[in-house]
Amino acid sequence: MLVLVAPGQGAQTPGFLTPWLDLPGVEDRLREWSAAIDLDLVHYGTKADADEIRDTAVAQPLLVAASLVSARQLFATPEDFAARVGAAAGHSVGELAAAALTGTLPDLAAMTLVRRRGLAMAEAAAVTETGMAALLGGDEAEVLPHLEKLGLTAANVNGAGQLVAAGTAEQIAALVEDKPAGTRRVVPLKVAGAFHTQHMAPAVTALESAVAELPVTDPHTRYVSNKDGQVVTSGQELVRRLVGQVANPVRWDLCMETFKELGVTALIEVSPGGTLVGLARRALPGVQTLALKTPDDLDAARTLIAEHSAMAE
């Protein structure tokens, strides 16, 4: 059983879209989306530096665009995707890419929504200086009370011994100085705010009005939600969760538990892949994984799809 996943914010690196533009139709599609959302995806994906693409309002559309153009190289039609992929999910903003890939939103609607999401979250992040930090190692039974003591939120519970805390800059600094017992490292992340916390509440309000205008259908493929790791079959419920998730923790650990329960045998992370594959290798032993970093990885991805898709059974 094949699972397809899309990465979240922080996965972007300068120039990562450059090799994809050599593929037929990709640059035209990116320019079409760029015009629709008033953001030059080609520039930011090929020439912008790390600071420019760290901007939430830029990073989020860039990541969803990369996930969509890379995944569309692997599946000819929605029917092909539905026949071959057993389940799909995205980490944080990657959920919007997964919503498009499972047919809940048209690609352009997903791009429009992610642009609104990025702008709304950037605006919310500007109110107070906030941030996030990854905690590597440690027992959740000890880590979670420690975060609560410092006033921090467990914004991403990623599984495989990784948890991301979020809060004010002062709270993150305090965590770096006073890490929980058993935690090997605390690594501040290159993000612009405390995402998936109460600091993002204003962005939820902005997105509630944005989704009212979008065409929504039920997903044609199992969609695993960050909210609780559950499979969502209603398009309207899926979109409602996308909105609320902006201010609530990402439970990627529960998503991986659901992959396991569904019988996952292979997992592909679309561009810019790597982070979620790393988590899967630790949390899902025995599952074959592939990170789709550049077009050079497409042949290997196609082979994995052929071996593990539902059509191969």
Q: What is the torsional sign of CA 68, 69, 75, 79?
A: positive
| Residue tagged active-site, from 34, 70, 92, 309 | 92
C-beta separation of 292 from 271 below 8 A: yes
Active site residue 234: no
User: Residue 69's Cα: distance from chain center in Å?
Assistant: 15
Active site residue 43: no
| Residue tagged active-site, from 91, 146, 196, 308 | 196
What is the DSSP annotation of 10-77?
T---TTTTGGGGGSTTHHHHHHHHHHHHT--HHHHHHT--HHHHHSHHHHHHHHHHHHHHHHTTT-SS
Q: Residues near 43 by Cβ (< 8 Å), separated by ≥ 6?
A: none
Q: How many CA atoms lie within 13 A of 93 on its CB side?
A: 32
Active site positions, annotated:
92, 196
